[in-house]
Chains A and B, each alone.
Chain A
Amino acid sequence: MKSIRVRLFILLSLFAGTTLTLSWVTYSSFKALMDSRRQLELSYTIRDEVEQVGALKPGTELYRRMQSYGPLLQPDRRRQELTDMLQAAAGNHAAQLNVRHKTFVKNEAEYQRFMREEMNYLESKLLYYGSLALFTMLFGFVALQLFISRSVVRPLHVLSRKMVDFLHDRYTYQFHVPSNDEVGQMQATFNSLAQRVISNMEQLKTLDQAKSEFLSIASHELRTPLTSIKGSLSLMRTGVVGKMNEMADNLLTIAENETDRLIRLINDILDLAKIEARKLPLHQDWHSFTDLVKTSLDSLQGLAGQADVHLQCDSMPAMEAYMDSDRVQQVLTNLLSNAIKFSPAGQTVHVQCEINDRNELLVTVRDHGRGIAPEDQEAIFQKFRQATSVSNPLVKGTGLGLAIAKALVDQHGGMIGVRSTPGEGSSFYFTLPEWRYNQQRPALPGTEKVA
């Protein structure tokens, strides 16, 4: 099959050629008809005027008018007849003039009869070709429309539908190329493109699977030996293997603490990797946010007591949030434990829950610690980034807590951030977009002090 361009060119040329030819024939018929009518009218006029042959004398008005008609007459034979007659009139041969006059009048009458027939013929010819031209034009128009619709518009529409399907992951492997014209080439190109995207996607899937496998193997293979090390060390500490001297005890403490740290680090890294790979699906449902805050505060009593820091809930309307409560609790616990770790002894950590102006549930954890320098405020949410030089012995995190919190809040569709003035303390906050007031449960009292 030829390309659309060539086919369109041929079709258009044919159409234009036929229409032009027919129009020209029609026009020329029309012109001939007009000419014939003029000649016929002229012939009638002349015949009427030369009725009185006696008045045809040189010098008269009639004679001059007759002379002026001469060049207009067609064909030449008629002009000759008229000239002959006028010459006869000028020659003053009455008999000759009479003969010429008779011949002329007879010829004109014959010419008129012939011309009327000719005009009838021309009229029907004009009608015929005119209608033909009109019909051809109409037919050509329809054919052109049909051609463009069939070979351009419809295939393009099909292709665009396929593209939309592909966009919505509904691509079937039917790489059908309708023709080898321009649209067909486009379809073929699209097919190649789709094939490449699909193969890339499959490659990605394989990689993703490899990553998941690595995660599960790593988490098992790394945790198993650590569990044994940790168990052995803690058993040795109980004294079941016999009493140990101070040096051995110190070494055991180091080994135990570092093992703990390693376990935390591995758990955090694997957690974060899973969250980032979306391998940790959220179990979202409506849960009481009030209970969640209470549980988090309760679970951190021990740490707060150790650091001599108060925990206080400033405002807690009875509400529920659409969330994975374990995960949100992880976020809140992380923020709270950070606040406790960075608070000086005797200070208070405030928790506040409210609805912000964007109609989100906003949770704020405020401490009176050293605060965070503006240049560190974004960095602390990145992996393995802690604010510079931590001297507090309680602070020995993995540097992943906030990164995990951020990933979890992101997954819930919320935002996490910090506002801080160095020297005055920090306010960490996060939002949850889906919440509602809970009528059944009573709110926590406005203030709750936990030593």
Chain B
Amino acid sequence: MRILLAEDDPNISIIAKISLEKLGGFDVTVVSDGEAALNEALTQKYDLILLDEMMPKMNGLRVCQEYKARCPSPKPVIFLSAKSQESDIREFTDNGTGFIPKPFDPRKLPEQIAALLKGVA
């Protein structure tokens, strides 16, 4: 399973990459801004897109909307965000498949993703 991870904090992206590869057994590609994320998502084949909400150039929500508008068969999108207000969370769940609050526990990240994907399937 190929995952695109868009996260601007290099430390967090390393931790998430290790967690997803070693614990989840996924194949992870990391990009660090919104535009790169949108390009990657549209040009390469991924099974899941993990988007940080706060990113340079384009925020996660916009990336998701553009992606869904342009891609004929969009893959599930999961947001990562420190925003915890109900209105924010509703926006994430309306636009994407789900939402994982930050800071996340790298030990549980693959499980959280699996649980969210299970809900879709």
Contact = CB atoms under 8 A, between A and B. Distances in A.
Nearest to B82: A223
Contact of A235 (B9, B103, B107): B107
Interface residues of A, number: 13
A230 interface: yes
Interface residues of B, number: 14
A235 B23 CA distance: 9
Contacts of B11: 225, 228, 231-232
Contacts of B23: 238, 240
Given A228-B12, A228-B15, A238 B102 contact: no
Nearest to A229: B11
Contacts of A227: 12, 102-103
Contacts of A240: 18-19, 22-23
Given A235-B15, A240-B22, A223 B107 contact: no
Given A223-B103, A238-B107, A231 B22 contact: no
Contacts of A238: 22-23, 106-107
A235 B18 contact: yes
Interface in A82-127: none
B18 A230 contact: no
A240 B21 CA distance: 10
B106 A235 contact: yes
A228 B103 CA distance: 9
B90 to A, nearest CB: 16
A232 B18 CA distance: 10
A131 interface: no
Interface in A184-239: 223-225, 227-228, 230-232, 234-235, 237-238
B111 interface: no
Interface in B52-110: 102-107
Given A227-B102, A238-B23, A232 B107 contact: no
Interface in A229-265: 230-232, 234-235, 237-238, 240
Given A231-B11, A231-B106, A240-B19, 5 more contacts: A224-B9, A228-B11, A228-B12, A234-B106, A235-B107
